[in-house]
Amino acid sequence: MRNVAVVGAGVFPFGRHHDLLYVEMGRDAVNDAIKDTGIDRKEIQSCYVGTTGGVGVGHEIVNETGIIGIPITRVENACVSGSNAFRMAWMDVALGISDISLVIGIEKMKDSSMGEAAGGTGRFKLEMKAMAKNISMASFGLMGPPGYFALAAHRHMAEFGTTKEDLASVTVKSRTNANNNPKAEYQNIMTVDEVLNDKMINPPLTRSQCCPKTDGAAAVIIMSEKLAKKYSDTPVWVKGSAMTSSIIMDLLSNLSAMPNIKSSRMAYDMAKVEAKDFYKNGFVEVHDCFSISEILHSEDFGWAKKGEGPKILNEGITQKDGDLPINPSGGLLSCGHPLGATGVRQIAEVLFQMRKDKEVAKRQVPDGNLNLALTHTMGQPMLGFTSCVHVFSRNL
């Protein structure tokens, strides 16, 4: 397999874009990524589009950005769609089929079929209802993702003495970082009390401990080693990629999601790194769909002992200037979570951080933490989980 690098990125601001079409958000992200890369658009040889609801939007975006004749592949994998699209593009370039590939992540959640889907309308509702009557759902399907993670949160509290203030502190950190991210949906600073007094969704999780449904788009351009060295002095190398799934909801049994453990260890092995190598050396963007999620991930990925996720949070280790910054962008909790866009936005954040781009000037992680990075999304709750992990480095 060939070495592959991320060379350019563009992020369309996450938020409410009622008046914009998918193609209008995606077009800007793609044009920004092309400009950022410094290539001629004619050089792009393939395109992968991570989206759950954006049917046909890949072709529309490519049409409107003057990229002609290349294979365009839509990748749907719920919350993992963007990361999965990136992984397909990485395989494409690593295998030597394309030299330059464009990855788009895009979603409209506010007023699209995808947004409605969560509330349950139309055909999707019919499918969900059928699924709920199906045997697998009979054991865990009554509630959506917030309820499921609320159960994990209460169990973590009972087992390890985690407090609701610990949980709220995840949101406080997230908003503090997002306060320096003009492309996050929620940039307002919040206190622990404000988080706890927010509207209750599923106890113990209040609204600001749940990622919002958001509109957004992001694009990255990746290329072979030879071209990356030609076009960039600061390429970010893909060192590890892994994706696994489970068919049972194992998160409650030992407060670990097996696919997260498996994917992270596979990606670590491929990148020849260990969990501890991220300390004082790297930063990560993980799937903080809920406050408890970030705590569970910090344990499952091996950065904290089981039950000690709140400890590394409270010690400031996971702050933007701590030993291991987690979600310097503000993560899903504050950026919002347009399903297909999230995984690609995370990778754009890695590129911008590693090359100390002005895009992240106000939320730049320390120099010493720019050697190693990890991105992670997980999805398909209620059908088990899928987990996708990538490891990046500035050094080949």
Partner 1 sequence: MKRHPLFVEGKLNAGKCNDCEYIRFPRMDYCNKCQSMNISDYLVGPKGKLMSYTISFSKPMVGGIKPPYPYAVARFDTENGNHIDVFGAILSQEPFEDIKINRDVILVSDKLLVKFKMGSD
DSSP classification of residue 383: S
Catalytic residue among 79, 210, 289, 388: 79
Among 2, 129, 272, 276, binds partner 1 (CB under 8 A): 129
Q: How many CB atoms lie within 10 A of CB 172?
A: 19
8 Å CB contact between 79 and 337: yes
Among 132, 189, 361, 396, binds partner 1 (CB under 8 A): 132
Position 150 contacts partner 1 (CB under 8 A): yes
Among 121, 134, 191, 234, binds partner 1 (CB under 8 A): 134
Q: Which two tokens stand for residue 372?
A: 């190693």
Per-residue exposure over 235-254, b if at least 16 CB sit within 10 Å of its own CB, e if not: bbbbbbbbbbbbeebbbeee
Token look-up 């999805």 returns 379
Position 158 contacts partner 1 (CB under 8 A): yes
Window 91-120: residues binding partner 1 (CB under 8 A): 120
Least Å distance between CB 121 and partner 1?
12
Q: Is 337 a catalytic residue?
A: yes
Please, what is the Cα angle at 106 between 105 and 110, to 5 degrees? 150
Least Å distance between CB 191 and partner 1?
24
Q: Is 390 a catalytic residue?
A: no
Position 230 contacts partner 1 (CB under 8 A): no
Sequence-distant (≥ 6) Cβ neighbours of residue 271 within 8 angstroms: 239, 240, 391, 393
Strands 386-393, 372-379: pairing is: antiparallel
Task: Kindly indicate which of the ranges 9-17, 52-60, 202-210, 227-235 contains the residues binding partner 1, using the contact rule CB under 8 A.
Answer: 202-210
Position 135 contacts partner 1 (CB under 8 A): yes
Per-residue exposure over 109-135, b if at least 16 CB sit within 10 Å of its own CB, e if not: bbebbbbebeeeeeebeeebeeeeeee
Dihedrals phi, psi of 316, to nearest 5 degrees: 85, 5
Among 128, 261, 266, 275, binds partner 1 (CB under 8 A): 128
Position 140 contacts partner 1 (CB under 8 A): yes
Among 56, 96, 122, 203, binds partner 1 (CB under 8 A): 203
Catalytic residue among 337, 376, 388, 390: 337
Task: Kindly list the catalytic residues.
Answer: 79, 337
Binding site for partner 1 (CB under 8 A): 120, 125, 128-129, 132-143, 147, 150-152, 154-155, 158, 200-205, 247-249, 252-253
